[in-house]
Amino acid sequence: MVDGCAVKVVDADRVSAVRERMPSAGDVTDTADVFGLLADPNRLRLLVALLDGELCVCDLAAVTGQSESAVSHALRLLRAHRIVAARRSGRMAYYRLEDPHVRLLLDVALAHTEHTEAIHPERDGRS
């Protein structure tokens, strides 16, 4: 509960209240990490493709329009974070979406994006 920044606080009560409710650094990092895995269009496409069921690497490459190497790299990352899981059959590898939490996030995000599509006139200070 050390402060280190309390010098110029305006609303001290709100600040400590919010600090109380703030998740631990570990939780925040963990959550940011998950969002980071969903933040790449190609990875996102892979996961969306897997929403309907398992697919092998070459089909994932075909669906998402990436090289199989890129797909493999992406799946490796997702696998390391237990977001997808692999089933092997001969020389094929079938991947499925394993993390229900991520599935929920995807559902929420996609549902809203379809509605909000037109409402994104951003592009302000960056490009």
Q: 87-92: which pairs have CB atoms within 8 A and are 24 or more residues apart?
A: 87/54, 92/56, 92/57
Contacting residues for 99 by C-beta, under 8 A, at least 6 apart? 81, 82, 83, 84
Our finding on whether 72 is near DNA (CB under 7 A) is: yes
Per-residue binding string, DNA, 10-49, x by CB under 7 A, is x-------------------------x--xx-xx------
Size of the site for a copy of itself (CB under 8 A): 74
The DSSP secondary-structure symbol of 23 reads: P
Among DNA, a copy of itself, none, partner that 1 touches (CB below 5 to 8 angstroms by kind):
none
Of positions 78, 93, 97, 106, contacts DNA by CB under 7 A: 93
